[in-house]
Amino acid sequence: MAEKMLKPPVEVLYKEELAALKKNDDGIKPSNWILSPKAVRKFILGSSEPLNYKNKTMHINKKFFGNDSLVERCIITLAGNRGLMLVGEPGTAKTMLSELLSAAICGCSTNTVQGTAGTTEDMIKYSWNYAMLLAKGPTLEALVKAPLFVGMEKGIITRFEEITRCPSEIQDSLISILSDKVLNIPELGESEGLLFAKSGFNVIGTANTRDKGVNEMSSALKRRFNFETIFPIKDVSLEAKIITNEVKKLTSQNNVEMEVDEDVANLLASTFHELREGISSNGIRIDKPSSVMSTAEAVSVYYQTMMTSYYYGDSKISLDSMVQNIMGAALKESRDDLEKLKNYFNVIVKSKAVEGGNLWQKYYEARKWIK
């Protein structure tokens, strides 16, 4: 089933891991959770202890690379029936963490609201089948359930992506639901007009710090969530490992028969880290591009470069192609960043080409594409 999907949900992609964890789970489970907090942690952060499942040994690999204690706090927040808000720079894996948490806790990561400037209250709570509404009046049968309604009815998590992209009045429609865990449907009358949330219901929101001030969350809504900030990866070797792992997943899903070059992944991770931090590994200050040079962007750059080599080249990574893709990532906010990227190559990459051997030399020569 997963092979036929362009992007399988987490619960499909890791179906066997979740089943193995459930079978071997002896921890205490909050009401309506499919795994205990210990097993949820193991699913997200991996485990050195193998599990026995269907007469074979299974290893649970680490899926989120970052602050382990942050993941533990997220799990405990949800176990305490309090809303969780993940904030941070774009590309810091907020969405991925919310998907992993949802899949491990309730087996469903797709009950999602995608926040935009056009998001309305009926996209969050419920709307009506108007043909049926005219024919039969306001009944449960005529009601069209939105993600928040589904989460409360089934006792599962509702994910709310990019919440600060939504108008303030739409955000504030969550306040009473998060406080009282009840949804009022006045059209159905007193007998059927209240939906009380089942155990297990909760909301995981995400918000980019780059969107701060677009539609700032009210203090009343903020008080209904525990906030956790996810920071960009600081360790270059860890960032290179993430790039390698994620690209391997993409090649497997899309049947691209090409190996990941770990030396090139390290080079790319170093470039993104230095441009993001504004300082090179040897302490030279550089101007940072206005674009977010995130790890997710680095994965995209490597994979795009790989695809170019796979379909048009000789299945060997081309640094010329990589530089072109880096330029696309770095200049998406402003063409003024072109000079900053040129300066990075003329100063930092040039010095590493002298010290770092053939790969950095070829990388420096590929600067001709920055124009």
254 and 183 assigned to the same domain: no
99 and 167 assigned to the same domain: yes
Q: Which tens digits make up the pLDDT trace of 143-201?
A: 999 999 999 999 999 999 999 999 999 999 999 999 999 999 999 988 788 999 999 99
288 and 220 assigned to the same domain: no
Q: What pLDDT is stored for residue 321 in this prediction?
A: 95
Range of the domain at 282: 236-369
217 and 249 assigned to the same domain: no
Query: At which of 201, 230, 259 does a domain end?
Result: 230
Residue 241 has pLDDT above 90, yes or no: yes
Q: What pLDDT is stored for residue 189 in this prediction?
A: 86
The CA–CA distances, whole Å, from 71 to 66, 82, 214, 229, 243 equal: 9, 15, 27, 11, 20
More confident residue, 371 or 247: 247
277 and 262 assigned to the same domain: yes
58 and 179 assigned to the same domain: yes
Residue 262 has pLDDT above 80, yes or no: yes
Query: At which of 210, 230, 250 does a domain end?
Result: 230
The pLDDT confidence band at residue 275, using thresholds 50, 70 and 90, is very high
More confident residue, 97 or 335: 97
115 and 95 in contact (C-beta within 8 Å)? no
Query: At which of 198, 213, 230 does a domain end?
Result: 230
130 and 94 assigned to the same domain: yes
Residue 224 has pLDDT above 70, yes or no: yes
Angle at 370 between CA 367 and CA 371, to 5 degrees: 140
Q: Among the listed ranges 1-15, 143-157, 309-323, which one has the minimum average pLDDT value?
A: 1-15
219 and 244 assigned to the same domain: no
Q: What pLDDT is stored for residue 210 in this prediction?
A: 78
pTM attached to this predicted model: 0.90
Q: What pLDDT is stored for residue 344 in this prediction?
A: 95
Q: Which residue has the tokens 């931090």?
A: 277
Instruction: Provide φ and ψ at 230, rounded to 5°.
Output: -100, 120
Q: How far apart are CA 294 and CA 292, in angstroms?
A: 6
Domain count for the chain, please give it: 2
The pLDDT confidence band at residue 212, using thresholds 50, 70 and 90, is low
Residue 192 sits in a domain whose CATH number is 3.40.50.300
Query: How much of the chain, in percent, has pLDDT values that exceed 70?
Result: 98
271 and 142 assigned to the same domain: no
How many Å is the maximal CA-CA distance in the chain? Answer: 78
Q: Among the listed ranges 36-45, 73-82, 329-338, 362-371, which one has the minimum average pLDDT value?
A: 329-338
Q: What pLDDT is stored for residue 371 in this prediction?
A: 85
